[in-house]
Structure 1
Amino acid sequence: MAQLCSSPTLHMKQVLKSRGALLVKYSVASSSNSKNEGVHQSCRRYSSVLPKKKILTKKERPDMNIQPMKVNSKNEETVAEKKTPTPLHRDIITSILDKFLRNLKLRQQANQEQGITEVLFLKAFLSFRAYCLELIPTSDPELVEKFRNVAMSKASEEILYENFVVHAKKVFPHLNCLGDLKIISDLTMPHNWYPVARTLKRRFIYHAGPTNSGKTWAALQAFKASKSGVYCGPLRLLANEIYRRMNTEGLPCDLVTGEERRFAIDNLHPSSHLSCTVEMLPTDMRTELAVIDEIQMLRDDQRGWAWSRALLGAAADEVHLCGEASAIPIVTRLLKEVDEEVEINRYERKTKLSISTHGLGELENVQHGDCIVCFSKRQIFMTTKELESRGKQCSVIYGDLPPGTKIRQAEKFNDPDDPTNVLVATDAIGMGLNLNIKRIIFNSLKRMGNTIPHHSAIQIAGRAGRYGTAYEEGVVLTKNEEDIQTLKELLGKQIDDIEKVGIAPTFDQIETFAFLLPKASFIDILTIFKSVCSVRDDFFLCELDQMIDLAKSISDIQLPLKIKYIFCVVPVNMDSKQGAAAFIKMAKRYSMGQQITQDWLCSVIEWSPKVAVNMDQLVNLERTYDILDAYLWLSMRFEDMFPDGSSIRTLQKQLDEIITTSISQVLSKTAIEDIKEKDNEEDTPKKTNEDKLTLRNRRIGIDRRNIGAMAGVASAQATQKI
């Protein structure tokens, strides 16, 4: 298994050839709305036959997305002159088939012997039923005879089982090689994916503590003292901050994120220290020390795989982990399997944090150093507008803002000589920015109608009070008096220990999987992989939904598998029509072998940015920034096809400054009534990760432009020119 994981493509191909494995042709049934609706209606009709269980969504049961092939209506082996038996009445066939479907023994047998799950069984049955009712009078006399015997009580409906299985394998060809597919998609031994780390006896130091406890500072002291090291951060902002700090303090340190590389000296003289986003950690790079920040992100359903990969694969003699204590049990358990132990260092908060006994009430009660936390962009601008009408100057921070704008807004708020002394922000302040906050004020404790998770409330509240500033003692409260008790309950809860951590397949595993399904679309490959893969109890498979959505958008564009894989982890917001259109055009142009240049991109996005004076214009500027981000991400992987990374980065910096200016213009020229009317998609957190706007990641304060889910794996494999 270790050999398979370390080099699965070549190894698996050799295994399959030696075993004479069948390469099946696979295609998906027509996706027309009318046909799919017919299938869904039939599924609903017969769903009552299946055992009553917990209702599962398509996310929980990926086999619900697998559609059957259309079976040829004519049996070419049938002799035309052969006399056909008198056809049976449709009602008789229907009655027998209903008995077949209700036979629990047959369904269990199909699952155990053939891997036909209940969902696939029902879909295959519907196709088999249509075949029996429409085709067997002329094309399958043997099957007709079986029905006749059942009708005459000479046999039970179980004699149809073999015919059903044959039919199921025709409409779901992957069932023909299910055993091999399960071997390839076995994700139960992820520690074997990192051969360099397995040659080491690594020492782990876990720095566990809340916000403002000094845990990361302690790890960075060891980082600076090491001969070589790598810092893995959850955000571009943090990776950039460590990069700047180390170089300022005299330690040459390079930077690698999904969108850029910077060298302390030059590319011919790489430094011995590296700051990177966690997805970009090169697991084959030997260092003396590694720091993995925010280790509790192991539980994240979109990006958790990146922390699992760093934990199991960091090729360092000494690894420092920083984060909540909730990850200690699962980390200890995972490392015990590779005979590695963890030293635990616990930290207490350096400054006092108290919960107010009453709510803020009116906005007139806002003080210097206050941060009002809102959970929508619309609410941020409404609150800021009201505060400024009362003579209070504000900084604004939310997830969609470019990193440069966030930094400038934070600097204004932190500067004691700047008249800006109030911050209005989303939970994007949860990590990544150093902010001198005295009081955290929750405008509301609900997001999208639901009370925020207690670990999210704890993370945000912890930003109140900062060691070494004028606001060392922090206070947390709510705007509304009636929310205070709920806040106390949220902050009083213990954060549960993490039980499962994220995992995701490597490209090599996807490629080997595709080898068995040469005619399958990339969407089919991902969907079937989700349905047959196996993971251990300590792991869960991270979401592939965004990847599948991107694959659907470029399904008609011909690209090699690896190229399409990388395109499908691009950090692009597909909820934005502008972003989706630009992404599809870039993929299409790439497929035609034409370079994606600055001039071409500027024509596509109609580049002529102007300072925004209303919310709609500001949103359009932010979306344009996202498109430039996607270009830079792709230019890091396909430099020859995206050759203008440097000039696009210059445009992006200009746009960043325009967006900063636009915030004040929108606030000064937009009436509160107009802001209240803006209830578009920007008010609702998008269901993607930082790059992809995941709701989960917004809960912990991640903006959307760090690294796309699974992007690190693709990036690590694509750092060399393809």
Structure 2
Amino acid sequence: MRAISPAEAAILAAGFAIESREMPALIRRVERRMPADAEAVHAALVEVRRRAWIARLNDLANRAGRPWVRRADNERAAGAIAELEPADATLLAALDAALAQRFRALGPTPEAALEAVTADLAEAGTGSLSPDRHAALAAEIAAAFGLSADAAVDFLDRTGALETRRRREQRDAETAAREKRRAEVQRLRAWERSLVEFRAVPGLLGCSEKEALRWIAEGLLPVARRIPAKGGREKWEFDPAELALLRPAVDGWRKQAKPAAPAVVGKGSRAGNAAIARVAALDRYAGHFATARALDRRLTLITGPTNSGKSHTALDRLAAAECGMALAPLRLLAHEFREALTTRGVPTSLSTGEERMPTPGARHLAATVEMCPFHLPVDVALIDEAQMLGDRDRGAAWTAAIMGAPARNVFILGAPESATLVRRIATLCGDPLEEVSLERKSPLVAAKAAVPLADLRAGDALVAFSRREVLDLRAELVRRGKRVAVVYGALSPEVRRAEAQRFRDGDAEILVATDAIGMGLNLPIRRVVFSTLRKFDGEGRRELNTQEVKQIGGRAGRYGRFEEGVVSVLAGGGSPEFIRAMLNAPPTAPEDPRPLVQPDADIVAAVAQEIGSDSLFGVLARIKRAVLRTDDPNYRLADLSQAMAVASAIDGVAGLSLLERWTYALCPVDERDNGVARLARWAIEHGAARPIAPPSAGRLPPPERAGREELERAEKTHKRLVAWRWLSLRFPSAYPDRAEAMAETARLDRWIEDVLRQHRKSRLVA
């Protein structure tokens, strides 16, 4: 006869009907409760069956067409059930109670809760609810708030009418946008059909083929379209309307040894690419910054690895100047520049995308790069992290800042990899360039062996490349009794600084971070340990490159605190030899040495006038197609895909001008977080002259009870508040409740930091 364990004996003695597949998990749970009576066995059996109840609830919600039910709701409902064999009605009653609790936490009124739920569904990509489903959701929310029958009917009528109006406005905006796009495509195709090949040019101009070829080479005859052909050749096409306007100039060209380029020609709805290119002048981008070109500028490029003292050197010069500006890549670093100057006794104002902090009497400014004031001459400008010139998303902002900073002395700081692009920019601007190369103050070495997770100790920074991995590693280290601080991109600058301070003060032994620590955040890190040597860069997984290993690994070995910095990799994450090779590798030249450029409001307006169009999508499409040849020797056009996605979504919004739509296209949103669709909803309200309320996270659970879902929701709300605050500075009448937005931002910062401070094993570990 098989011997049974005490736990199994307790289970059998309790007398419950148990399926054989449940027994192994039940035994494990009862063992933790020994000595166990029938009540303890009952509690353990409820735990075992809870997963099946959650799945059943999910199925019931799907069958009933309730997409607003989340897994967390089902888990909360299942957790409230004590019966061993609950009926569907019991499960649904528990779910209704859990939903009612969540709805009431989303806002103080049923209207606010309904707005929050429908917004969450849209953000999650679920799309708009059908009218029937929207009404069903509204009815559930009315019940959750305990509205009387009459109040519920009034609530359903009001919210139904509001939803109908929104649907109509969204449908009208989408229809208008499609019509504009169709018109722009037809306009472009008609223009393309009008083009002629080179053999027609001599007849249109009354010249020989040889003369036409010479004038093309001299830039006098615009090539409207270049089509790649076999053998590396090109097929050239020309706009006959443009050539007709140039014909009177032919006699003059023949008489001149090197004729001057023609003035801008051709206006109207069928303006040729060459005319558009001349209006945009992106191939002469340096000349776009009139104030900078009027100054006798001197550029100083200070390159060096992390921990070489680049910022300190330039900040001393900036502080000694009568007036100046410091341009940083992040809002966090703009704040640090302001504090550094203030510490030196220099009053300094602050300007970032979503905030302004003027200081009375200040003649110095700390700002993010995108906020460079191009028309405010100063003595000294500092531009940090110049290696960002090569960044596909933000590189054009560094090109504009370096070309356009209106300062007599411009100090450009960056990794050695930035030198090629900075030299090209200096040449294009005609500015003299002095180069200063600094060495690292303390050595940086690669560890000889990979580091087991158990060997991490105080002063280590463990670097991962996703939020999920950061939280997973944090959870495992907390489980092992470590005190951990975390830094990743979804955290606000305030929370990042707080977490960095915890690590700096020793309240946290280990820092777990994404590559967000590679820029700024001076921390006393003894050793940087990569969790992996591969990362996803938005297109695919690849190995880290030399600059990334040096930039991130260079955070190790804070000068004055550690004799050397050590860079290693977590056991199983890659080879220490790869790190050694990357650290010893020379700076890599950029794949394309041409600086990135992008249009601004003036260029957008000029091109719109030239082509006679009010379509932002059409204007951006023509800019992408026409203003800068792919083989331009000096510049390359930045990626306009997100701006064009926003333009496509809001082009049909009534009540917004072209330049207002362009402002929306520049708003920092995350396309993965349905940011474009959110902007479209806000734009419709703006165009209708209705105020847009700031996003809210609603009621938050106590930090010690927060799970990953609640943390992620708070982080996403914070990110949406950044976009809202950015727009509120540009459209204050449409986004008026700035004080409320600031208060909600501060509340989320405090709550997120309190969640991350939890050292014990919490729901974040799950």
State the TM-score bracket (shorter-chain normalisation).
0.5 to 0.7
Instruction: Check 1:384–1:106 CA distance in 2 against 1; reply closer, same or farther (3 A cut).
Output: farther
Q: Is the 8 A contact 2:303 2:414 kept in 1?
A: yes
Question: Residues 592-625 of structure 1, C-alpha deviation per residue, up to 9 Å, x if partnerless?
Answer: 12233xxx335xx563344562222211111111
| TM-score, normalised by the number of residues in structure 2 | 0.63
| Equivalent runs, 1:494-505 vs 2, <5 Å | 494-498=586-590, 499-505=593-599
2:500 to 403, 410, 421: 410
Q: CA deviation at 1:640?
A: 2.8
Residue 658 of structure 1 aligns to a residue whose secondary structure is: helix
Distance 1:548 1:500, change over 3 A: same
| 1:261 to 2:356 alignment | yes
- In the TM superposition, 1:18-417 aligns within 5 A as 67-68=185-186, 115=224, 118=227, 177-265=272-360, 269=361, 271-361=362-452, 363-416=453-506
**1:284 shift after superposition:** 0.9
* 1:661 counterpart residue number: 754
Name the CA shift for 1:29/1:554 in 2 (closer, same or farther; >3 Å): closer
Gap change, CA 1:629 and 1:377, over 3 Å in 2: same
- Deviations 1:620-650 (Å, cap 9, x if unpaired)? 1111111211121112112233222233112
1:31/1:520 Cα in 2 relative to 1: closer, same or farther (>3 Å)? closer
Question: Structure 1's 490 and 68: CA in aligned 2 closer, same or farther, altered over 3 A?
Answer: farther
**For residue 141 of structure 1, what is the aligned residue in structure 2?**
none
1:545 matches 2:641: yes
1:435 match: 523
CA distance in 1, matches of 2:177, 2:351: 40
* Mapping 1:611-650, distance limit 5 Å: 611=702, 613-650=706-743
Q: Distance in 2 between matches of 1:335 and 1:113?
A: 28
1:453 maps to 2:526: no
Q: 1:606 to 1:476 in 2, by over 3 A?
A: closer
Post-superposition CA distance 1:644-693 (Å, at most 9, x none): 22331122011111111233569833375x5xxxxxxxxxxxxxxxxxxx
Residue by residue, what CA displacement relative to the aligned partner does 1:337-388 show, whole Å, maximum 9, x if unpaired? 4442112221100011110111002x11111100111111111111111111
1:442 counterpart letter in structure 2: F
Matched-pair contact (CA < 8 Å) for 1:28–1:68: no
Corresponding residue number in structure 2 for 1:490 = 582
Higher helix share: 2
Q: Which residue of 2 aligns with 1:693?
A: none
Q: Aligned equivalents of 2:222 and 2:586: distance in 1? A: 45
Distance 1:106 1:425, change over 3 A: farther
Separation of aligned partners in 2, 1:30 and 1:489: 55
Q: Which amino acid aligns with 1:254?
A: S
Q: Post-superposition shift, 1:308?
A: 1.3
**1:575 aligns to what SS in structure 2?**
helix
Name the SS of the counterpart of 1:282 in structure 2.
coil
Structure 2 contact 691–734 (Cα < 8 Å) conserved: yes
For the residues of structure 1 that align with 2:522 and 2:716, how far apart are their CA atoms?
Answer: 26
Letter in 2 for 1:628: L
Cα deviation 1:206-264 (Å, max 9, x = unaligned): 21111000111000010111111110111101100111232233211111111111123
Q: Unaligned regions of 5+ residues in structure 2, if any? A: 1-175, 205-215, 230-267
Report what 1:424 is aligned to.
512
Q: What are the superposed Cα offsets for residues 159-205 of structure 1, whole Å, 9 maximum, x if unpaired?
A: xxxxxxxxxxxxxx976533422322331111211111122111222
1:514 corresponds to which of 604, 608, 625: 608
Specify the alignment match of 2:58 in structure 1: none
The amino acid that maps onto 2:449 is: H
| Alpha carbons 1:595, 1:641 under 8 Å: kept | yes
CA 1:386–1:515: 2 relative to 1, 3 Å: same
Change in Cα spacing, 1:28 to 1:631, as seen in structure 2 (3 Å) is closer
- Give 1:490 shift: 2.3
Q: Match of 2:683?
A: 587
1:468-479 residue pairs with structure 2 within 5 A?
Answer: 468-469=560-561, 471-479=562-570
Following the alignment from structure 1 to structure 2, what is the Cα–Cα distance between the partners of residues 581 and 71? Answer: 29
Q: Which has the higher contact order (CA 8 A, sep 6+)?
A: 1
2:648 is the counterpart of 1:561: no
Shift in Å, 1:293:
0.8
Distance (Å, rounded) in 2 between the aligned partners of 1:317 and 1:186: 25
Aligned partners of 2:294 and 2:394: how far apart in 1? 26
The structure that has the greater radius of gyration is: 2
Q: 1:545-580: per-residue Cα shift (whole Å, max 9, x none)?
A: 111122222233121011000011111223224x55
- Give me the identity figure in percent: 29
Query: Structure 1 pair 179/347, CA: closer, same or farther in 2 (3 Å)?
Result: closer
2:299 touches 2:426 (CA, 8 Å); kept in 1? no
Query: Which of 542, 546, 556 is matched with 1:464 structurally?
Result: 556
- Residues 350 and 107 (structure 1 numbering): CA distance in 2 closer, same or farther, change over 3 Å? farther
1:29 and 1:68 in contact (8 A); partners too:
no
Shift of 1:437: 0.5
Contact kept, 8 Å, 2:708 with 2:764, in 1: the verdict is no
1:492 is displaced (CA, Å) by: 2.6
Q: Per-residue displacement from partner, 1:59-113 (whole Å, max 9, x unpaired)? A: xxxxxx98447999xxxxxxxxxxxxxxxxxxxxxxxxxxx9xx99999999999
Aligned length: 521
**Is 2:621 the partner of 1:527?**
yes
Change (3 A) 1:403 1:117: same
How far the C-alpha of 1:31 sits from its partner, in A, is: 11
**Residues 294-319 of structure 1, C-alpha deviation per residue, up to 9 Å, x if partnerless?**
12222222211211112111111111
Give the Å deviation of 1:326.
Answer: 2.6
Structure 1 residue runs of 5 or longer lacking an equivalent are 1-26, 37-64, 73-99, 121-172, 675-722
* Paired residues of 2:628 and 2:636 also in contact (CA < 8 A): no
Change (3 A) 1:358 1:646: same
Give how far 1:452 is off: 1.7
How far residue 278 of structure 1 moved from its aligned partner, in angstroms, is 1.0
> Would the alpha carbon gap of residues 571 and 609 (structure 1) be closer, same or farther in structure 2, given more than 3 Å must change?
farther
In the alignment, which residue of structure 1 is the partner of 2:213?
A: none
Contact 2:325-2:365 within 8 A present in 1 as well: yes
Q: What is the rounded CA distance, in whole Å, between the counterparts of 1:666 and 1:529 in structure 2?
A: 53
Asked if the contact 1:283–1:315 (Cα under 8 Å) also holds between the matched residues in 2, the reply is yes
